Amino acid sequence: MTARAAHAALLELDALRRETARGQEPAPDLPPSGVPRQTEYWVGKAVRARRRLTDAVAKNLRAVSNVAGRPVTVLGADGCLDERMLAFRARVARDEPVVSVSDSGCLRRWLSTTDGNAASLSIITYVPGRPLYAAVVTAGAALLSDCSGSWRLTLADGWQAMTGEPLVADPDPDHIVLPQALEHLAPGLSRHYAEPIFPRDTSSAIARAVLGGAVPVAVHFTEHVLNSAILPVAVGHGMAVRVDSGRLIEKPWDASRHLYQALTGEIPFGEEHVIARDMWAIKRATRVLARERHLAARTHPLDAPFDTAYEDDLFGFDFDDFGDDV
């Protein structure tokens, strides 16, 4: 079911991209003249695109709409995130199958610029008696994970089963993916990561650069649990996730249970998660961020970090361990 939903969403994203690039929007969507009306048009175009994506998934799932005799509900086109969350919980409580299709980042920016890191879709599926399924759909690929395996879909190559380890090059330690809200820390962070990346949508950047590239670590601001399918997807593709509470998740079933408990309100989901290939990368990123946030919080420009012991963020040793001989 999740694979069909992800495939339908990827096809619809590709159709939206081609229509916009070629000026082939349907007649009711033709842009008006004048800047104010054009702005209104593009805001409305993003709303219509969201509905098209949700409708495409719902249409594709009609062929499998009976799970234990109950139809599948697809959420995503109507209401705010909190309203859709309550609707998702209500169906889980009644043991009814439900699929959430939620866009993160800025769908309008993606429509206008085709920037691959501007937006993505989080698809979360609940089927009674089974663990949660999750998929992340970007403009170029869909990534899916459950407790039995993980897969990657592109329109050119179709579905590819993953091995549980990222099929990418050796990690490039100079890169890190961070939310735009942390861009003010860039001068300090560049002392540790020469090429920090601050995308509009961290989910799409993680799917592309971490799961599909050589970037070893990312920080994800969750925004909302319905927008966070990237967490179980990342774990299913061989990554480790440090959740907001400090707990480390490395197994797909633990990631599925964590997301389920957050979706049903049993636990708080938190606001910041670190996704990386290994525990060393998580510790390094966590330590560097804590240090740079501490330094940025200093109120006087002459305050200097001389009261902070120097700790090498590459190897984890402290010069104080060597005594007075250093």
What mean pLDDT is predicted for residues 21-33? 61
Give the model's pLDDT for residue 256: 93
What mean pLDDT is predicted for residues 206-222? 90
The CATH 3.40.190.80 portion of the chain extends over: 175-301
The span from the CA of 271 to the CA of 222, in Å, is 5
- Domain 175-301 architecture: 3-Layer(aba) Sandwich (3.40)
Chain segment 164-198, per-residue pLDDT in tens: 454 556 889 999 999 999 999 999 999 999 999 99
Task: Using DSSP, state whether 5 is helix, strand or coil.
Answer: helix
Find out whether 61 and 1 touch, Cβ atoms under 8 Å.
yes
Take residue 300 and report the two structure tokens written for it. 């006087």
Average pLDDT, the chain: 85
Give the model's pLDDT for residue 171: 87
What mean pLDDT is predicted for residues 75-93? 93
Give DSSP secondary structure letters for 38-106: HHHHHHHHHHHHHHHHHHHHHHHHGGG--BTTBPPEEESSSS-HHHHHHHHHHHHHTT--EEEEEEEE-
The CATH 3.30.540.10 portion of the chain extends over: 2-161
Please state, as a whole number, how many other Cβ atoms lie within 10 Å of the Cβ of residue 88.
22
The Cα-based distances of 195 to 37, 80, 177, 191, 237 in angstroms read: 39, 35, 9, 10, 24
318 pLDDT above the threshold of 80? no
Give the model's pLDDT for residue 26: 56
138 pLDDT above the threshold of 80? yes
pTM of the model: 0.85
Which of 63 and 314 is assigned the larger pLDDT? 63
Confidence of residue 22 (pLDDT cuts 50, 70, 90): confident
Q: What number of H helices and E strands is found in the chain? A: 9, 13
Which of 312 and 33 is assigned the larger pLDDT? 33
What topology is assigned to 2-161 in CATH?
Fructose-1,6-Bisphosphatase; Chain A, domain 1 (3.30.540)
* 125-134, 167-176, 274-283, 298-307: segment of lowest average pLDDT: 298-307
Ranked by mean pLDDT, which of 29-33, 59-63, 167-171, 220-224 comes out on top? 59-63
Partnered with residue 124 across adjacent β-strands are 100, 134
Which of 183 and 309 is assigned the larger pLDDT? 183
